[in-house]
Amino acid sequence: MLDFRADLHCHSTCSDGTATPQEIIELACQKGLQGLSITDHDTIEAYKEAIPIAKAKGLPLVSGVEFSAVHKETSIHILAYSFPLHSPLILDFCHKHYQRRLLRNQAILDRLTAHGMPLTLEDVHPQTLVSQVSMGRPHIALAMLKKGYVTTIQQAFHDYIGEGKSCYEPGHTFSVEETLDLIHRAKGLAVIAHPHLVENIGIIRDLLTMKFDGIEGYYARFPKSKQERWVKIGQHRGWLVTGGSDFHGTIKPTLPLGSSWVGEETFNVLLEHFKQHTID
């Protein structure tokens, strides 16, 4: 029998992934995963579909979401886990992010149109106006590719919608402190996502003094030596050390589901916290 494995970081079509929540559950079962958290960007829409399917297949789920935040003008991602999915605080916060993203995306589309590349929200993500899916620049880049405005998704970012480019619009979001406060008031646990991707050492030092509950130490894009460093940092602080693949489906084929994971002890801490604060 394989060792216990739980993937705590993956994305569905409810944000910027290409696999539906059902497909992720089925893939997790095929791969022999014994625990999962779907951590879409700024939305928990996936759980409407995922929960009954996971329950039918006997796959334990822990609530999760990857919130966008900012600290000293640096983008920071925060993984929230084990909060009640019916939490008004979480639902309201996700709605605020949804509204924020709508405004930003429309501003980018307006700039693209002014540059002779007309696109509408419906072109980019038809669901975004009827449900609180989380649309972002990857969706816009894919729509640009389909329209023939660019030859690759990378070109869309490099020439038009990447930071500092002609059609870029900054994403005005919540501070790390505001996000931590919200997660904790909602009875969730807050984890620093993929810390190796934060290049400013001063920002990292700031984050390590804040009221996080954990750090993502096991992450497929980290070299093993870097993973060991973050694991030690988390353990030294008495934090949870989480991990996951950051699976996005076909748009990131080098990050298959289950390529990074945590063991039974860590998953059970999250699962018990989730059960403790969830009322059926």
Q: In the predicted model, is pLDDT for residue 129 greater than 80?
A: no
The angle, 0 to 180 degrees and rounded to 10, between the axes of the packed helices 176-185 and 88-114 is 150
Tokens of 221: 């894009």
Name the band, by pLDDT with cuts 50, 70 and 90, for residue 127: low
3-state secondary structure of 71: strand
Instruction: Output the CA torsion sign for 54, 55, 61, 63.
Output: positive
Alpha carbons 114 and 197: distance in angstroms, whole number: 33
Q: Is residue 110 domain-resident?
A: yes
Q: In the predicted model, is pLDDT for residue 145 greater than 60?
A: yes
What average pLDDT does the segment 229-243 reach? 96
DSSP code for 3: P
In this structure, are 56 and 186 located in the same domain?
yes
Residue 97's pLDDT is 94
In this structure, are 72 and 199 located in the same domain?
yes
Residue 2's pLDDT is 62
Residue 134's pLDDT is 81
In this structure, are 188 and 237 located in the same domain?
yes
Across 9-18, 36-45, 129-138, 162-171, least confident range = 129-138
Q: Is residue 169 domain-resident?
A: no
Alpha carbons 3 and 258: distance in angstroms, whole number: 12
Across 10-14, 224-228, 265-269, least confident range = 224-228
Residue 222's pLDDT is 84
Query: Whole domain around residue 69: which residue ranges?
Result: 6-86+176-276
In this structure, are 10 and 78 located in the same domain?
yes
Instruction: Report which of 29, 22, 10, 8 is spatially closest to residue 256, judged by C-alpha positions.
Output: 10
Across 26-40, 61-75, 86-100, 116-130, least confident range = 116-130
Q: Is residue 250 domain-resident?
A: yes
Q: Is residue 170 domain-resident?
A: no
Number of domains observed in the structure of the chain = 2
Residue 124's pLDDT is 87
The mean pLDDT value of the chain amounts to: 93
In this structure, are 60 and 195 located in the same domain?
yes
Q: Is residue 168 domain-resident?
A: no
Name the band, by pLDDT with cuts 50, 70 and 90, for residue 128: low
What percent of the chain shows pLDDT beyond 90?
Answer: 81
Q: In the predicted model, is pLDDT for residue 215 greater than 90?
A: yes
CATH number at residue 28: 3.20.20.140
Last residue of a domain, one of 138, 161, 184: 161
Strand partners, 7: 36
Alpha carbons 144 and 277: distance in angstroms, whole number: 43
* Beta pairing class for 240-244 and 189-192: unpaired
Q: In the predicted model, is pLDDT for residue 233 greater than 90?
A: yes
Last residue of a domain, one of 131, 161, 191: 161
What average pLDDT does the segment 170-179 reach? 92
Please check whether residue 192 is in contact with residue 205, taking contact to mean a CB–CB distance below 8 angstroms.
no
What average pLDDT does the segment 111-118 reach? 97
Instruction: Report which of 139, 132, 128 is spatially closest to residue 161, judged by C-alpha positions.
Output: 139
Q: In the predicted model, is pLDDT for residue 104 greater than 50?
A: yes
Ranges assigned E (strand) in the chain: 6-7, 35-36, 64-71, 74-81, 174-175, 189-192, 214-219, 240-244
Across 85-99, 144-158, 221-235, least confident range = 221-235
Alpha carbons 260 and 217: distance in angstroms, whole number: 10
Residue 118 CB: number of other CB atoms within 10 A? 13
Amino acid (1-letter code) at residue 128: T
Within 125-236, residue ranges assigned H as helices are 137-147, 153-156, 176-185, 201-208, 224-236
- Full-model pTM: 0.92
Residue 29's pLDDT is 98
Place of tokens 């084929």: 253
Last residue of a domain, one of 119, 137, 161: 161
Residue 1's pLDDT is 43
In this structure, are 118 and 219 located in the same domain?
no
Residue 240's pLDDT is 98
